[in-house]
């Protein structure tokens, strides 16, 4: 989970939201047939991009959990964090990640990625229902159309590549986000 979604909350709430996200992704992986490596990667999927030193974090994951788990984590990362360097621009990261996923042949990476995006989309939907369009102010990319483009592109990438129930649920949640985002723009 990116810090964007929870940046304006209290530190304890941020930690709870972060832990809930990681546990939820791992649970979704297991619910959709993932194995132990995929579930562990679900718990660790944000570590490389959210740490201060992504390369060192990758090495630690590889050492502690093995190559397959580390490869899944890398496959679910849109950037590798580098100390004292800003991440690339949002659209560049997302476009590159979509290209990576389109070429990805590892079903575990696709499963963990889809479970991560489903949980993120569910959180967006819940927050959109609770607080409305002010939700978008929490993100580095504040344009709901850009966010919808990204999630719709992800969903298209997952079709026939992850379990149908997972892909279908992601598409339903995205459609509801789109519906609420459109309603929020109406006078």
Q: What is the pLDDT of residue 183?
A: 76
Output the pLDDT for position 170: 98
184 vs 42, more confident: 42
Ordered by start, the domain boundaries in the chain are: 3-185
> pLDDT digits over 105-130, tens only?
999 999 999 999 999 999 999 999 99
Give pLDDT tens digits for 33-46. Answer: 999 999 999 999 99
Q: How far is CA 160 from CA 29, 102, 119, 121, in A?
A: 16, 12, 19, 19
Give the model's pLDDT for residue 3: 44
Are the C-beta atoms of residues 78 and 103 closer than 8 Å to each other? no
Model confidence at 184, pLDDT cuts 50, 70, 90, reads low
pLDDT band of residue 79 (cuts 50, 70, 90) is: confident
pLDDT value for 29: 98
Single out the residue of 109, 106, 104, 125 nearest to residue 183, CA to CA: 125
Cα–Cα distance, 95 to 132 (Å, whole number): 27
* DSSP annotation string for the chain: --GGGGTTS-HHHHHHHHHHHHHHHHHHHHHTT--HHHHHHHHHTTHHHHSS-HHHHHHHHHHHH-HHHHHHHHHT-S----TT-PPPPHHHHHHHHHHHHHH---HHHHHHHHHHHHHHHHHHHHHHHHHGGGGGGGSSS--HHHHHHHHHHHHHHHTTTS-HHHHHHHHHHHHHHHHHHHHHH--
Using a pLDDT cut of 90, give the percent of the chain over it.
79
> Nearest-CA neighbor of 153 among 110, 90, 102, 115?
102
| CATH architecture of the region 3-185 | Orthogonal Bundle (1.10)
């Amino acid at each position: 989970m990116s810090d964007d979604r929870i940046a304006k909350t209290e530190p304890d709430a941020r930690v709870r939201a972060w832990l809930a996200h990681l546990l939820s992704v791992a649970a979704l992986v297991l619910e959709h047939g993932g194995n132990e490596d995929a579930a562990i990667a679900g718990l660790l999927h944000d570590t490389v991009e959210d740490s201060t030193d992504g390369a060192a974090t990758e090495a630690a994951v590889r050492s502690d959990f093995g190559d397959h788990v580390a490869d899944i984590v890398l496959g679910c990362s849109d950037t590798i964090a580098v100390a004292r360097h800003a991440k690339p621009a949002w659209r560049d990261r997302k476009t590159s990640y979509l290209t990576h996923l389109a070429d990805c042949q590892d079903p575990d990476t696709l499963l963990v990625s889809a479970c991560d995006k489903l949980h993120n989309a569910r959180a967006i939907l819940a927050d959109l229902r609770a607080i409305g369009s002010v939700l978008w102010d929490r993100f580095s990319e504040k344009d709901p159309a850009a966010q919808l483009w990204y999630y719709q592109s992800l969903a298209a990438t997952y079709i026939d590549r992850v379990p149908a129930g997972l892909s279908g649920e992601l598409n339903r949640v995205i459609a509801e986000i789109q519906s609420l985002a459109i309603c929020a723009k109406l006078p």
